[in-house]
Structures are given as structure tokens and as C-alpha cells.
């Protein structure tokens, strides 16, 4: 229910962004707004596909286990013939890497392969703390155990897209949410405060990962005619 409320709140923010565009308070236009709604719908439908519903066929390409996290890489095709790559990351707990903290999270990163409009809308340059520049073009949906600048846990946030900041250009969804909300691409107001307990959040992440692996096993059995 909390995820549903977070999604509804984000949809309302897009409608608010549309009203601000109409009144001339942004350089964005209604074609951008349309693409924003399409991208939000697409990433949500991809997430729904792990329940066995939705219009996407998922094909696991790789599973990468690292320190305190696991990443799954899928190839996707929808019923319209468009193809995508999807990276799903599970990090149940905050981890320390090279003297910095990485937030605990579930992260979906959807990369459009054939939908050029979406690919263009989400291409941006990010500058890392090391000074290294990276070009990315993924639609991001994450459920994060958000931390403040001191590393203290603030709460759980559903983040969709990337807002503009000092170290990145921002993508289309991030810019739309930044226009409509002071929280930008973050959504810290939809989740129960109990989830900010690191152990509770870790349990939720591990449960989601177990469901994904169960779904993948079901798909393998189905392809082999065993179910």
C-alpha cells in the first residue's frame, strides 16, 4: 500500500508539473510531459512484470554477486517489439566502499534500446566525486534507505528519475519532479517510519529479492515444460 501511495503521489506531481508548464513557468513542454508519463508507466510496468503480470517478457542474462549486494541483469521485450536492458540491484544494508557509504536500496535501472525518444530523454552526464564523468541513459526507480550528509538515516524514499544537481544534468522525469516538488526526484513522505530501522528495511529488501528469484525459477520451469 505504501508503494502504491508513493506512485499516486508521483503521478499527481506530474499533473502539477503540467499545470506549471501550461502557465509558462518552465522551458519544458507538453511533449516532455507526455514522455514523462510514458516513462513512469513503463518503469512501473517493468516492476509489475516480476509478479507474473504486465506486458514485458524478462530474460535473465547475468547475476552478479558482490560484497553485501547482488545485481541481476535482464533483457526485456514488450508486446510492441521494443527492447530494453534492465539492471536490478539489491543492497539490504548500508555498505562502506572506499571511505564512503552507499545507501541500502532496491534499484531498477531500465535502459531503452530501441525507443529512441525515451533514450534521448534520459541521457545525461554525471560527474562522480573522483571527477570521472559518465554518460547514462537509464530510467531509475529506487526504494532507498536515505541518508543525510552526515550519514544518518533519514527514512525510506521512492526515487524516480534523477533531478538536476551540481554533479549531474538531470533526466526528464527528474526535471519534471523538480519543477513540481521541493523534493525533486525523491519521495520521502509515503513510507512508514518503522521502515527506517535498518534491520526492518534489510528484511524487506531480502524478501523482495527472494520473490524475484522465485519468479525466475518459475519462468525457467515453464520454459522447460515442467509447470
Quick: pLDDT tens for 161-190. 888 877 778 889 989 988 887 765 667 667
Q: Which domain range does residue 19 map to?
A: 2-223
Q: Which of 143, 145, 136 is nearest to 170 (CA)?
A: 136
Give 92 or 160, the one with higher predicted confidence. Answer: 92
Indicate the burial class of 60 (C-beta count within 10 angstroms; 0-12, 13-18, 19 or more): middle
Structural domain total, the chain: 1
- CA 37/CA 174 separation, integer angstroms: 12
The pTM assigned to this predicted structure is 0.86
Give 69 or 193, the one with higher predicted confidence. Answer: 69
CB atoms within 10 A of CB 33: 21
- CA 51/CA 47 separation, integer angstroms: 8
Residues 68, 93: contact at Cβ < 8 Å? Answer: yes
Cross-strand partners of 165: 168
pLDDT over 80 (residue 51)? no
Quote the pLDDT of residue 206: 93
Give 218 or 7, the one with higher predicted confidence. Answer: 7
Quote the pLDDT of residue 184: 58
Quote the pLDDT of residue 29: 94
pLDDT over 90 (residue 33)? yes
Q: Which of 209, 160, 169 is nearest to 188 (CA)?
A: 160
User: Which of 123-137, 178-192, 197-211 has the highest mean predicted lDDT (pLDDT)?
Assistant: 197-211
Amino acid at each position: 500500500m505504501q508503494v502504491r501511495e508513493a506512485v499516486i503521489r508521483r503521478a499527481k506531481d506530474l499533473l502539477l508539473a503540467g499545470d506549471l508548464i501550461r502557465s509558462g513557468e518552465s522551458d519544458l513542454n507538453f511533449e516532455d510531459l507526455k514522455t514523462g508519463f510514458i516513462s513512469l508507466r513503463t518503469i512501473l510496468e517493468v516492476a509489475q512484470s516480476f509478479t507474473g503480470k504486465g506486458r514485458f517478457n524478462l530474460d535473465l542474462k547475468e547475476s552478479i554477486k558482490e560484497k553485501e549486494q547482488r545485481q541481476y541483469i535482464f533483457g526485456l521485450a514488450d508486446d510492441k517489439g521494443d527492447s530494453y536492458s534492465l539492471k536490478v540491484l539489491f543492497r539490504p544494508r548500508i555498505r562502506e566502499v572506499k571511505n564512503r557509504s552507499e545507501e541500502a536500496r532496491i534499484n531498477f535501472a531500465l535502459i531503452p534500446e530501441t525507443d529512441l525518444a525515451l533514450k534521448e530523454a534520459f541521457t545525461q552526464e554525471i560527474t562522480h566525486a573522483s571527477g570521472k564523468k559518465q554518460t547514462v541513459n537509464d530510467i531509475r526507480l529506487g526504494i532507498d534507505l536515505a541518508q543525510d550528509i552526515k550519514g544518518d538515516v533519514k527514512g525510506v524514499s521512492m526515487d524516480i528519475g534523477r533531478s538536476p544537481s551540481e554533479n549531474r544534468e538531470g533526466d526528464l522525469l527528474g526535471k519534471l519532479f523538480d519543477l513540481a516538488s521541493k523534493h525533486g526526484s525523491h519521495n520521502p513522505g509515503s513510507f512508514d517510519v518503522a521502515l527506517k530501522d535498518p534491520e526492518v528495511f534489510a528484511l524487506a529488501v531480502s524478501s523482495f529479492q527472494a520473490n524475484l528469484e522465485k519468479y525466475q525459477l518459475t519462468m525457467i520451469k515453464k520454459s522447460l515444460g515442467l509447470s
